[in-house]
Each structure stands twice: as structure tokens, then as C-alpha cells.
Amino acid sequence: MKKRNKLLKPFQAIHALHPEVPKNEVLHALRERVKELTALHSTVCVLQDDRLSTREVLERIARLLPPAWQYPEITAGRVRMGDCESCTPGFRRTRWLQACDFRISPELSGRIEVYYLKKMPQEAEGPFLAEERNLINSLADMLRVFFERKLAAKALLDAHNDLERRVKERTAELEKLNAALKSEVKERELRQQEILTYQEKLRGLSAELILTEERERREIATDLHDVIGQTLALAKMRAGALRGFCAAPEAAAGLKDLSSFVDEAILATRSLTFQLASPILYELGLESALERLAEDTRKRHGLRVDFGADGKNKPLPTETSVLIFKAVRELLMNAVKHAKATEVRVRVRRAAGKIAVTVRDNGRGFSAGAAAGYGTDRRGFGLFSIREKVSHLGGAFRLSTSPGAGTLAVITAPLGKGKPHGKENPDLRRP
């Protein structure tokens, strides 16, 4: 009895507010609202189950339609979403239709349809109530939101799967590239090691070539001095002795001329001997040899050569001393023949465990492009040869010049390990 009174309270309250409305109509309206609320609640329960497929959702929503409308026994419903649809048992289309469309995406849409199978009294929308219009609109909106969320979740899952697939593919590609790069790096390291080995061998061959060439030059210079020089000296002595026995003026004049020719030959032989191999280089060291070279250049070519050294001990391997001496001689010849210089300064100093030799002239210089490539003429080839040989001995050759500004050449090379300065190297002795 108490439960019945509880159910009647809402009805009694509505009837109290509208006493003019018959009680049976109020009760009918309440029943319809209960059916609508039940349909909405059941729809919410269906849409909360993410395990249901699209067809299962449509089937359950379609079954909820007839009980929610005013005349369930003559109501048929259909729910469609894209190519998938679900209908109530005995569904057929009639002219008494209430429907609502919903769109999920530009390519996908859906529709809810409710049909009365026979003619019923006129209401707000044909035989359908205004509340039923609100109900079908709400159901359509709920389905729209549900399928939008489901479609978004599927798109997100597809994007996630696609991203994982791309990451795996990219990772595999990077692993292949990394393996190829490691292989290439290893191969490059091997090639670099081979190059370093070849360079070391080349330095050794270059040094041996310099020593061999210098030995040959010393042998030729020695022969010039010992054989030709002594022969000329004896010829001069003999000519001088013969002049005392010649009474005829013509014979005395001829012997005098002959003696003069012999003197010139002796000077030429000495000069050639010095050019081939300076004995000072092996007996007194590089600085003394360069000083003598500067003096000889002044005498032979009239070029003012200012030589200066810091006086510090500079132990050098023999091949380095020979190479620097030849390089300075080449630079002096360039200053005479090509630069047309009138003055050259040669400086020798020790710095940071190296010997540094600078040769600066006041000649006409040449362009930066030619300096970078060291030219293509005889002078350019000589400068290129200096750079390569100095490089093979672990040193460096730097050239600074421009047209009309003279030329500065700097040769640096590592010092040796304390070999006595100015003593002859056994590597250059005669075999």
C-alpha cells in the first residue's frame, strides 16, 4: 500500500497543478515520458559497452524503438549507419514515418526511422508526439557522438599502428645504414692506415733518395776537386815554371794567357764543386753552409743577401740539412732569375723544437692563385718540389706573396735528437 502511494505522488502533484486535465490523460502522459526515459537510459547502457560491434549496436538500438513510442504494437523501426543497418522484426515501410539523420563524417552518415504500420490519430507531427520528435533527435545525436568517438578511436589506433610500422621500418633502415656506415668506417680506417703506411714508406724513400743523390753529388764534387782541380793546379804550376825558361816575349805572353785560363778553370771548378755539394755543410753545419751560400750568391749574381741566425744549437738529420740547403738555394735562384729582386734576407732560428728558415725578397712577387698552385713554370715546379719534400720529412713549407710586394718563404722542420752539429754523417761517405 505504501509503494502504491509512492508511485501515485507524482501523478497527484501534476493533477493538483492542472485540475482541468482528466486524470487518465495525465497518467497516459506520465507513462509516455517513462517509456522515453527508459529508451534513453537503455541507449546509454548500450553505447557504454565498447565490446559491441557496429551491427550489434544498431540491432540493440532498433529493438529499443517500438517500446518507446506511443503505439508499440504497430511500430516498426530501422537504424542505419553507412552500409550497415538493423530493422525490427516484421519491418516494412509506410507513409507514417518519423526519421532523423545524423552525420559522422563527410563520407559517413546514419539515419533512425520509426514507422507506424497503420493510421493513427493526428498529433503534433502526423500521428507522432512532439516528445517523440525530441526522443528520436536525442537518440540520433547520441549515436552520432558514439560513432564519432569510435571512428576517432579507430583513426587514432590506425595512426598508432602506422606510426609503429613506420618506426620499425625506419629503425630497420637505420640499422642497415648504421651497419653499412660501420663497415665503411672500418674500410676507411683500413685505407687510412694503408695510406699512413705508404706515406711513411714514401718518407723513407724520399730521405733515402736525398741521401743517395747527395752521395752522388759528393762523389762528383770530390772527383772535380781531387782529379780535375789538382790537374789544373799542376798545369798552372807547370806553366809558371815554363815561363822562366822562355826568352821569347811571344812565348811568355802565351804562357801567361794559359796561366790565366787555368786560373779561370780552377775558379769554375771550385764553384761547381760548391754547387754540387758544399763541404761546409758536412764539416761546419747548415748555418755555416747557408752563410757561405749567401756570400757566394752576392759574388756571382750581385744580389745583396743579408744572412742572420740566432746561434742556438739545431741538431738536424742529414737529409733535413741537405733538403733545407737545396731549398734555400732554389729560392735564391728564383729571386735572381724570376723575381728580379735586389735584396734578400735569410734568417735561421729555433722555435718549439723545430728549425725555421725564412727567405724574404723585395722582388715583383706573383698572384695569390699562382702561389696556391705554385705555378706551372720551372719556378713553380721547384716550389712544389720543395713543399713535397719538406712535407715528407715531417715539415712544412709556406709561401706568402702578391704582385709587387715581394715573396716570403718559410720552411719549418723537426729537429733531430742531438747529433753533433757540423760533423760529417756516415750515410754520406763514399761506399
- What is the rounded distance in angstroms from the CA atom of residue 180 to the CA atom of residue 198? 26
Q: Are 57 and 146 in contact (CB under 8 A)?
A: yes
- Ranking 22-31, 64-73, 269-278, 350-359 by mean pLDDT, the lowest is 269-278
pLDDT at 251 over 90: no
Cell numbers describing residue 93: 515501410
Q: Are 411 and 195 in contact (CB under 8 A)?
A: no
- What is the rounded distance in angstroms from the CA atom of residue 306 to the CA atom of residue 347? 8
- Closest of 419, 414, 415 to residue 394, by C-alpha: 414
* Strand arrangement of the beta sheet that strand 304-309 belongs to: 304-309, 343-351, 354-361, 407-414, 396-401
What pLDDT, on the 0 to 100 scale, is given for residue 243? 63
- Closest of 278, 240, 281 to residue 258, by C-alpha: 240
Helix (H) or strand (E) holding 408: strand 407-414
How many residues belong to the chain? Answer: 431
Which of 162-171, 223-232, 351-360 is predicted most confidently?
Answer: 162-171
B/e letters for 371-396, b = 16+ CB within 10 Å, e = fewer, are beebbeeebbebbeebbebbbbbebe
The CATH superfamily assigned to 284-421 is Histidine kinase-like ATPase, C-terminal domain (3.30.565.10)
3-state secondary structure of 78: strand
pLDDT at 305 over 50: yes
pTM of the model: 0.46
Which of 185-199, 205-219, 372-386 is predicted most confidently?
Answer: 185-199
User: Which amino acid is it at 241?
Assistant: A
Domain range annotation of the chain: 2-154, 284-421
pLDDT digits (tens, 9 = 90+) for 126-166: 999 999 999 999 999 999 999 899 888 888 999 999 999 99
Q: How far is CA 348 from CA 58, 115, 156, 289, 312, in A?
A: 100, 114, 78, 12, 9
What pLDDT, on the 0 to 100 scale, is given for residue 211? 65
What pLDDT, on the 0 to 100 scale, is given for residue 3? 42
What pLDDT, on the 0 to 100 scale, is given for residue 39? 85
User: What confidence category does residue 242 fall into, taking pLDDT thresholds of 50, 70 and 90?
Assistant: low
In the block, cell 517513462 appears at 34
What pLDDT, on the 0 to 100 scale, is given for residue 225? 62
User: Which amino acid is it at 233?
Assistant: A
Q: Are 328 and 293 in contact (CB under 8 A)?
A: yes
User: What residues pair up with 328 in beta bridges, in sequence order?
Assistant: none
Diameter of the chain by CA atoms?
A: 182
What pLDDT, on the 0 to 100 scale, is given for residue 247? 53
DSSP 250-287: HHHHHHHHHHHHHHHHHHHHHHHHHHH--HHHHHT-HH
Segment 182-188 mean pLDDT: 92
Strand 343-351 to strand 396-401: parallel, antiparallel, or no bridges (unpaired)? unpaired
pLDDT at 234 over 80: no
E strand spans, 36-183:
75-81, 84-87, 96-105, 108-116
What pLDDT, on the 0 to 100 scale, is given for residue 13? 52
3-state secondary structure of 76: strand
- Ranking 34-48, 130-144, 260-274 by mean pLDDT, the lowest is 260-274
Strand 84-87 to strand 75-81: parallel, antiparallel, or no bridges (unpaired)? antiparallel
User: What confidence category does residue 284 fall into, taking pLDDT thresholds of 50, 70 and 90?
Assistant: confident
What pLDDT, on the 0 to 100 scale, is given for residue 4? 45
pLDDT at 399 over 80: yes
User: What confidence category does residue 375 fall into, taking pLDDT thresholds of 50, 70 and 90?
Assistant: very low
When the pLDDT of each residue in the chain is averaged and rounded to a whole number, the result is 79
B/e letters for 267-284, b = 16+ CB within 10 Å, e = fewer, are eebeeebbebbbbbbbeb
What values do phi and psi take at 312, rounded to 5?
-80, 150
What pLDDT, on the 0 to 100 scale, is given for residue 8? 45
- Closest of 71, 42, 74 to residue 59, by C-alpha: 42
pLDDT digits (tens, 9 = 90+) for 322-342: 888 888 988 888 888 888 888
- Closest of 88, 85, 105, 98 to residue 137, by C-alpha: 98
What pLDDT, on the 0 to 100 scale, is given for residue 410? 92
pLDDT digits (tens, 9 = 90+) for 64-123: 999 989 899 999 999 999 899 999 998 999 999 999 999 998 899 999 999 999 999 999
- What is the rounded distance in angstroms from the CA atom of residue 346 to the CA atom of residue 215? 26
pLDDT at 254 over 60: yes
